[in-house]
Amino acid sequence: MNKADLIDRIAAGAGISKAQAGTAIDTAVDSITAALKKGDRVALIGFGTFSVSQRKARNGRNPQTGASIKIAARRVAKFTAGAELKKAVNRGK
């Protein structure tokens, strides 16, 4: 499923226009992104939690040349699925 498919489903399910559904998705994504930039967690009960985690600097290897390279420390976005989402996925179709 891509963004357009999600917009179609939300518009049909909520009885709103596709433009309104697109705005709702964009606002949700922007809000989650802004919270993560500040270092906050975003917990959606039943779905999962978005958070930021810190990765340490490390040495890597260029697969083409085999040369050793330094990979800088950085912050990364992380998603942890909630219990209800895990159960729904494991139940299958």
- For the stretch 14-38, pLDDT in tens is 999 999 999 999 999 999 999 999 9
Q: Please give the mean pLDDT across all residues of the chain.
A: 95
Q: Which residues are CB-neighbours of 59 under 8 A, at least 6 positions away?
A: 68, 69, 70, 71
Low-confidence spans in the chain with pLDDT less than 70: 92-93
Pair 10, 25: CB distance under 8 Å: yes
Evaluate whether the domain defined by 41-93 bears CATH number 4.10.520.10.
yes
Q: Give the pLDDT confidence score for residue 91 in this predicted structure.
A: 87
Domain ranges of the chain: 1-39, 41-93
> How far apart are the C-alpha atoms of 50 and 56, rounded to whole Å?
20
